[in-house]
Structure 1
Amino acid sequence: MASEIKVEVIHKETIKPFYPTPDHLRSLSLSVFDQYQPEVYIPLLLFYPNNNNSDNSQVKNSDHRSLFAERSILLKKSLSEALTRFYPFAGEFKYNVSINCNDHGAAFLEAQVNCPVSKILKNPDFEILKQLLPTDCMSTQAETGYLVLVQANLFECGGLAIGISIYHKAADAFTATTFIKCWAALAFGSASSTTDHHVLLPEEFGVAASLAPSLDSFDSPGAPVTFSTEKLTTRRFVFDASKISALKFKAASATVPNPTRVEVVSAVIWKSLIQASRSKFGFMKPSTWCAMLNLRKRSGQAVTENIPGNFVWFAAALTTEEQSEVELESLVGKLRKGIAEYKEKHPNGVGGEEVFQTIKAFASLFLRGDLEIYTCSSWCRFPLYETNFGWGKPTWVTSQPFNDLFFLTDTRDGDGIELSLSLKEDVMTIFESSEDLLTYASLNPTVI
């Protein structure tokens, strides 16, 4: 299918903030939570089929292009307004020290796709999905020239896909979704100007850096966050609501009688990865599951509840060499215990030096091969399916996984979970045939 579908970028421009950033906000110091993030882009794709018309005649195609032009103008205008509120997103990154908030702007690309959107949704192909994004998620800001890039993709049926790439050192999932929600609200018309009461106060951007200042240890290229250069294979699995209910029943125990959706899905993924690793190496290596935590309501400080930027850490759960440790009940218990240990150890948040030493230690273990490290970022419960720019809510929201990080997102009904992950080819071959996984998840089912 990939060879049949062509995505052609037909226009690119830079969108500046609607109002210039005040001089006293021109430099934003990074926090240690910004610093330790890898140099990658958070990728997100939102699909909006044209529900009004399925006619692909030449006349209708002309109408589609006209409608796309109108929507593109609306997206650019509202993006400009959103950049006034999220002013660092229009700046330039100064390596692991600060963001120069100079109103450089965000990139906005327009592309046309030579097929109806239904062709993508019937059989999602990650190689095609990559082309709908404005940049590769493994790009650096120096390569792209922007912290935020947007690509509006017009399908021949009139459907639209919006690809958004946000530099991870400027935003975590919470901040990215907050920005997208603001942008969509501005486009929809629920916020009419950049001076109303919905304005995100500029000084909020400095809170994380004041609580956890940057460290000199992270200031130079070559910080201890590295990725494998081996060829990876990407897959998508969907756990529907009924299978998750069955998983909850199977994984429940006296220790965790009511496991959550994310806990049971994480446990079955972890178990399948452990089995794949054991099959590859011939023995069971110790492994750790790192679940990313939004610290905004875990710091014990009201001032952090809605701060933008990066404010995430992780809770770690560990298995050793005992076979009994890889049963679902045991793994769910370990995941729950990891959260409890984080709360006990860090009632008032995580210190900067501890962040650096932990990252350094994990990187050392990973490079030596002593430990399998799996990192999971859950976007579940973020209101991405509420993103209405003025022409309805998205039919599908998805992401593009990158090395060593797995994404969990809600299905459209809010009850199921989608998994996107990339693994080395030989590991993926074993993982995707896991009986435990396939009992509860479907491999790349149709979206429509």
Structure 2
Amino acid sequence: MATEIKVEIIERQTIKPSTSTPHHLRSYKLSFLDQMAFVIYTPLLLFYPITSTTSNVSTRHHAMSIDERCRHLIESLAKTLTHFYPLAGRIVKGNSIVECNDDGAAFIKARISCCLSDILENPDGQILKRFLPIEIESKEAGTGWLLLVQVNLFECGGMAIGLSISHRIADASTLCTFINCWATIALGSSDSDQVLNLPEFGAASVFKPIEFSSSSQPPAREVIKEKCIIQRYVFDASKISTLQSEVASSFVAKPTRVEAVSALIWKCATEASRSNLRKQGPSFFRQDVNLRKRVVVVPPLPENLAGNVVGSFTSKADEESSVINLKDLVAKLREGIEGLKEKYAAKLVFDSDEAWQEIKDEQNKPKTRDNMEIYSCTSWCRFPFYEADFGWGRPSWASVASIAIKNIIVLMDKRDCSGIEAWVTMSEESKALFESKVELLGYAFVNPSVIDT
């Protein structure tokens, strides 16, 4: 199917903020967490069928032609960039400063040689990547465009908006704040501060950046693409509820959705790995955490604080048995999140020097990855991507094309915001063993149609 679908770029243009950035905001300092972020683009895909009827202003906007919708997106994007002015700039000065020079964001129109229903019937991670304006792993994320948008126009009249935002300046929460602010402006409800959820640019005052000299710059954390397969697994709300009940214990009486699903994926992936007799060492699970809601500090972190406001913890399953206790993994994940909260709550001021030393110490440790498995998980659940209504209804599907590194797990809400979609990348051999796990298939559907779910 991938070879049959043509993606034809029909227009490229640069969108600048509708109002020039004031002189006193022209230099934006990256935080320590921004400095340490990988040089990649954070992707998002929002799919809008032509028949959507959920818009608040359906009479006016639903009558728009495709060209009118694109012009509407361009005009509202220009207004949105006045509030997200760093996204229209470029990273300079040793990767520590964004020059907010109003160079603009990229806006691309593409014609797709199929109907939107063809994509939703059989989602394919490789095809989805073609609807993004730039490769996720592109090094341009550190030197070029900080925001790119690709509007994909399907033969049926449906549309998919693909966004790529530099991970050096934004995490998933910032991306969500941006997309919903843009949608609110596009709806025309109001562009007043009282209605818009505007970002707060000030993470560098909390996570103070390291002032590196020209001779001591940290190596850019670039991603090396690996040969792996991306697969989507869908957990319905009822299945998750059952799973939560079964993994509850005296240590974790009420597991969250993410804890239950993450533990199940970790367990099945580790058992599958150990079953091929090549990975008998410990298994590690690294979980990224949004610090805005999880960490209690004084003053509290604003929920709309822009940038990378993400911490992480790593849990270890060192059992060498081919069968792992699922409740134990849930307890390890809960212990990890509680430990992370305590770590940050104990500090009213983030110690960047200490954090940088920890990173260097970790980098200097002997690497013994050949006899272990390391999984990395990030959860985008509870981010309101499904509220992004530009005037022709809310998206029928919000998705992410996963990065080409094995053992990466991305969790997103289903459209009902109760179920979970898990995008998992792994080697072809590991995927076959993973999907043979009866326990996994008892809770998850392997890449079902979006239309039916």
Q: Which blocks of at least 5 consecutive residues in structure 2 are unaligned?
A: 54-61
**1:82 corresponds to:** 80
Aligned length: 434
| 1:304 partner SS | coil
Normalized against structure 1, the TM-score is what? 0.90
**1:56 corresponds to:** none
**1:304 corresponds to:** 301
Identity score, percent: 47
Q: Aligned partners of 2:95 and 2:322: how far apart in 1? A: 43
**What are the residue-to-residue correspondences of 1:56-135 with 2, within 5 Å?**
67-94=65-92, 95-135=94-134
Taking a change above 3 Å as real, the CA distance of residues 124 and 142 of structure 1, as seen in their structure-2 partners, is closer
The AA in structure 1 aligned to 2:42 is I
| 2:442 partner SS | helix
**1:273 corresponds to:** 269
Q: Aligned partners of 1:43 and 1:358: how far apart in 2? A: 29
Q: Aligned partners of 2:430 and 2:123: how far apart in 1? A: 21
| 1:267 shift after superposition | 0.3
**2:393 corresponds to:** 392
The AA in structure 2 aligned to 1:165 is S
Q: Aligned partners of 2:115 and 2:217: how far apart in 1? A: 43
**1:60 corresponds to:** none
Contact 1:149/1:164 (<8 A) preserved: yes
| 2:87 partner SS | helix
**2:24 corresponds to:** 24
| 1:69 shift after superposition | 0.6
- CA deviation vs aligned residue, 1:261-320 (integer Å, no higher than 9, x gap): 000000011112211331344353212222211112314133522311111111222221
The AA in structure 2 aligned to 1:107 is A
Taking a change above 3 Å as real, the CA distance of residues 256 and 218 of structure 1, as seen in their structure-2 partners, is farther
| 1:190 partner SS | coil
Q: Aligned partners of 1:340 and 1:324: how far apart in 2? A: 28
**2:44 corresponds to:** 44
Single out whichever of 72-81 and 350-359 deviates more from structure 2. Answer: 350-359
| 1:323 partner SS | coil
**What are the residue-to-residue correspondences of 1:157-168 with 2, within 5 Å?**
157-168=156-167
Instruction: Output the aligned Cα RMSD.
Output: 2.5
- CA deviation vs aligned residue, 1:162-206 (integer Å, no higher than 9, x gap): 0000001110111110000100000011224xx65456778x31x
Structure number having the greater helix percentage: 1
The AA in structure 2 aligned to 1:378 is S
Matched, 1:12 2:12: yes
Q: Aligned partners of 2:319 and 2:355: how far apart in 1? A: 27
| 1:4 shift after superposition | 1.4
Contact 1:325/1:331 (<8 A) preserved: no
**What are the residue-to-residue correspondences of 1:271-420 with 2, within 5 Å?**
271-297=267-293, 298-302=295-299, 304-305=301-302, 306-323=304-321, 326-349=324-347, 350-363=350-363, 367-369=367-369, 371-402=372-403, 403=405, 404-420=407-423
The AA in structure 1 aligned to 2:228 is L
The AA in structure 1 aligned to 2:11 is H
Contact 1:324/1:330 (<8 A) preserved: no
| 1:234 partner SS | strand
Which one of the candidate residues 430, 433, 436 is aligned to 1:433? 436
Contact 1:31/1:212 (<8 A) preserved: yes
**1:61 corresponds to:** none
**2:57 corresponds to:** none
| 1:428 shift after superposition | 2.3
Normalized against structure 2, the TM-score is what? 0.89
Single out whichever of 33-42 and 289-298 deviates more from structure 2. Answer: 289-298
Matched, 1:259 2:255: yes
- CA deviation vs aligned residue, 1:231-283 (integer Å, no higher than 9, x gap): 11111110111111121122111111211100000001111221133134435
Taking a change above 3 Å as real, the CA distance of residues 378 and 384 of structure 1, as seen in their structure-2 partners, is same
**1:188 corresponds to:** 187
Q: Which blocks of at least 5 consecutive residues in structure 1 are unaligned?
A: 54-63
